[in-house]
Amino acid sequence: MSENFKGNDILRKCTLCPRECGADRTKGFGFCRAGENIRAAKAYLHMWEEPCISGTRGSGTVFFSGCGLKCVYCQNYRISAENFGREISTESLSEVFLRLQEQGAHNINLVTACQYVPHILSALEICGDRLKIPVAYNSSGYEKVSTLEMLRGRVKIFMPDMKYLSSELSAKYSGAADYFEAAKAAVGRMIEIAGKPVFDDEGILQGGVIIRHMVLPGGYRDSVALINWIAENFPKESFLLSLMSQYTPYKNLPSEFKELNRRVSTFEYEKVANAVRELGFEGYMQERSSAKEEYTPEFDLGGIDELIINN
């Protein structure tokens, strides 16, 4: 453990995410499979985020291992459930941030980082004023307000999913019947922390929230209900909405979820897209051609190793 890390007390009875599993991560692993040290699987300039995030030079993206959700269709299953990655210190993580900035990244993009929030705060403290680009928190939406408060003043951009309105669907597909209750509180706090979207002269987001929703096979009715809920509960000018069509059947999908073993149909996606258009959201809608396996990143440790000077 890095001498700069200040989160040991939190890790001894971890309640960073809504699971509140209470694991002693200094001696073992939490529900999310995270232990005492940072574990990361990929770091690179990501060109396939929303245009205001990836821009022309890419988003400096770090994929962290482990996850507090258990989505049966997860495209990042190798790192979220199998915990693929390598352990790095907070000093090494700060080096990764600074090297991505040197490579031209528009931002630092933290993917599924909840379980490492204390470590990330220590790494950002090490970076200090040397890190001049905004930090983005790229999340499943299954977050605790108290953990988000730890990020106030450090994170400028939040990119949460809102996956489901239905507790039945969230329990079935993500093992979290309380998903919507957690996500609605979390996204509301993200909007309060980040404020309205702010762009630079290049059209790159400098602060604000992008709420993401991916349409699932057979789930369009829940999607439409969720989109309507968002419109009724969050002021439209306070965030951007990103509607995603990129669902790709996971090759190892358990047999009991055979209804997910197909792509989203044009009919299903257009039902949701029409609701988004009618409600007048600002943001993005993916083309259905985005549902391709090549948009799913390959995970290897090369990007991490290349960006760390002092292992």
- 229 backbone φψ class: left, alpha, beta (φ>0; ψ -120 to 50): alpha
pLDDT at residue number 201: 97
Residue-wise pLDDT tens digits, 84-141: 999 999 999 999 999 999 999 999 999 999 999 999 999 999 999 999 999 999 999 9
**pTM attached to this predicted model:** 0.93
Residue-wise pLDDT tens digits, 264-276: 999 999 999 999 9
| Annotated domain spans of the chain | 41-307
The pLDDT of 185-198, averaged and rounded, is: 98
Is pLDDT of 310 > 50?
A: no
Structure-block tokens of residue 126: 């090490």
Q: Tell me the CATH architecture of domain 41-307.
A: Alpha-Beta Barrel (3.20)
Q: Exposure of 210 by Cβ count < 10 A (0-12 exposed, 13-18 middle, 19+ buried)?
A: buried
The pLDDT of 43-54, averaged and rounded, is: 96
Going by pLDDT thresholds of 50, 70 and 90, the confidence category of residue 252 is confident
Other CB atoms within 10 Å distance of the CB of residue 130:
10
